[in-house]
Amino acid sequence: MIGEKNQSVEKNKSEIKDLVETAELLLTTRGDYQKMLDVIALRALKASGADRVCLIMKNERDELKIESGLPKDAHGIGQKITIDIGETFLRRIIKREESIVLVTNPYEDPRVAYMRGLVRTYGISSILFLPLFFEDEPIGILVFDRIGSERFSREALEKIKLLGRLASTAIGMELKRQKDRQKILTDEKLRTLGEHSSRIAHIIRNSLTIIGGFSGRLLKYLLKESRSGESKIDSRLLDTLWGTAKIIDGETKKLEGIVNHILTFMSFKKPVMEKHNINKFLKDELTLSPANGIKTRLKLDKQLDRLNMIFDRKMLSICLHDLIRNAIEASATRIIIKSKLKPRQKEVIISIINDGKRISPEIMKDLFSPFVTTKMDGNGLGLANVQSIVKSHGGDISVTSDVLTEFKIILPLHKTFGSKNNGESENSL
Ligand SMILES: Nc1ncnc2c1ncn2[C@@H]1O[C@H](COP(=O)(O)OP(=O)(O)OP(=O)(O)O)[C@@H](O)[C@H]1O
Ligand SMILES: [Mg+2]
């Protein structure tokens, strides 16, 4: 009896030691994302008693990719998960927080039909999928394969779950750290760029005003000459001069327009933070100026009917209308505007979703930078503006574009106030 007890104490001790060791190892990989994933794969293999382990991660573009795996050369590391290799099944798993999916008959189970080749090659007898979550958001999946007749024991399952929690926290914190670091760098760059650009924009505007003034006077003079009938200038030369002056005038006006746009963009002041109800704000905005007759639906989180938050109404209105204008310009036939409360993160998410032309992948990386446009008459300042407003509220904006394009604005819930407003949760306009 005492022997058994001692054995179990020893086992517990060794399990705790393993976990501490894993945590320590993960701490040493801070700042090196790939190394962190490789350590997780290695520790997962050890803890689970599995024969193969692979780590599939979700990236910022919402793609699933194999990022690490053991044995080293037995996984297509770097490979994107597509429909042919189980994307539908894996996406279903990734949505199921904290639940393990165990496939005990991979030869016949249709869910893993895409793995049949591997199952045969390696003699895989069971596969276990563990979704990884950080702050309620899915971040990836750990996949464990067993070869031969051995099954995953109850003990192994417990260890796998614990390891999954450790891995999720480590990866989630690392991704957050990377994002924060990137944000600091971008903010600093934008601040410096902003300071210089506004000085340069003023200089350019002054010169443009002079050029515009002279080209206007030149056009007036040429017009007078062409009408006078006594002009000393040859009529063909007059035509050429008129054409040239017209081009200078037109281009100057175009440049003036852009520079004025930039100066307006630069002159945005600090937001005037006042108490508003976000659901009511969204309803009001769309009722006051509907989106050009395009079918627009509001899907509002009912919890937000009873909460007020603080934001600058005018500024958020500019954002909303810029995003709607972009959707219209992308030939959307329907637009959905959603609000969602994330109580745990103390955040509110506003999504603007549209169909129509998708965003071209070439500009995706720089989409929020000034002057990125695919339109003949676009300035490429709309989204830069929107991002700057959202950031001035302490929030963030992201985008995905596939069959639908979705802009997601995250606003912090600095403060919440009770609201008497008890509107509907879903409202079709
Ligand atoms: N909802 C959308 N659907 C498809 N493409 C979009 C959408 N929103 C933006 N885009 C793409 O992103 C580019 C940049 O948008 P942004 O609003 O910054 O500038 P713009 O619309 O081109 O010009 P501006 O807003 O200054 O008049 C657009 O040219 C377009 O290609
Ligand atoms: Mg725009």
**DSSP 8-state code for residue 78:** T
**DSSP 8-state code for residue 359:** P
Q: Is the dihedral of CA 348, 270, 285, 380 positive or negative?
A: negative
The reply to whether ligand 1 has any atom less than 6 angstroms from the CB of 367 is: yes
Closest-approaching ligand to the CA atom of 360: 1
Confidence of residue 3 (pLDDT cuts 50, 70, 90): low
Q: What's the CATH superfamily of 2-182? A: GAF domain (3.30.450.40)
The reply to whether ligand 1 has any atom less than 6 angstroms from the CB of 379 is: yes
pLDDT of residue 425: 35
pLDDT of residue 210: 94
pLDDT of residue 417: 45
Give the chain's mean pLDDT.
87
What confidence tens digit (pLDDT) does each residue in 402-412 have?
Answer: 999 999 999 99
* Ligand 1: centre distance to CA 330 (Å): 8
Q: Whose CA is nearest to atom 8 of ligand 1?
A: 326
Mean pLDDT along residues 378-397? 90
* Ligand 1: centre distance to CA 306 (Å): 34
Residues in the chain: 429
pLDDT of residue 2: 59
- Cα–Cα distances in Å, from 165 out to 32, 90, 99, 130, 359? 19, 19, 12, 10, 36
Closest-approaching ligand to the CA atom of 377: 1
What distance in Å separates the CA atoms of residue 387 and residue 369, rounded to the nearest whole number?
9
What confidence tens digit (pLDDT) does each residue in 143-171 have?
Answer: 999 998 888 888 888 889 999 999 999 99
Confidence of residue 97 (pLDDT cuts 50, 70, 90): low
Q: Which CATH architecture has domain 274-428?
A: 2-Layer Sandwich (3.30)
* Ligand 2: centre distance to CA 353 (Å): 15
Closest-approaching ligand to the CA atom of 407: 1
pLDDT over 80 (residue 78): yes
What confidence tens digit (pLDDT) does each residue in 192-251 have?
Answer: 777 777 788 888 999 999 999 999 999 999 999 888 878 888 888 999 999 999 999 999
Domain boundaries, the chain: 2-182, 194-266, 274-428
What confidence tens digit (pLDDT) does each residue in 106-143 have?
Answer: 999 999 999 998 899 889 999 999 999 998 889 999 99
The reply to whether ligand 1 has any atom less than 6 angstroms from the CB of 359 is: yes
Sheet with 101-103, strands from edge to edge, namely 64-70, 52-58, 137-147, 124-134, 101-103
The reply to whether ligand 1 has any atom less than 6 angstroms from the CB of 374 is: yes
Residue 104 contacts residue 164 (beta carbons within 8 Å): no
Provide the percentage of residues in the chain whose pLDDT is more than 70: 93
pLDDT over 70 (residue 79): yes
What confidence tens digit (pLDDT) does each residue in 14-71 have?
Answer: 778 888 889 899 989 988 999 999 999 999 998 888 999 999 999 988 899 999 999 8
* Ligand 1: centre distance to CA 260 (Å): 19
pLDDT over 90 (residue 180): no
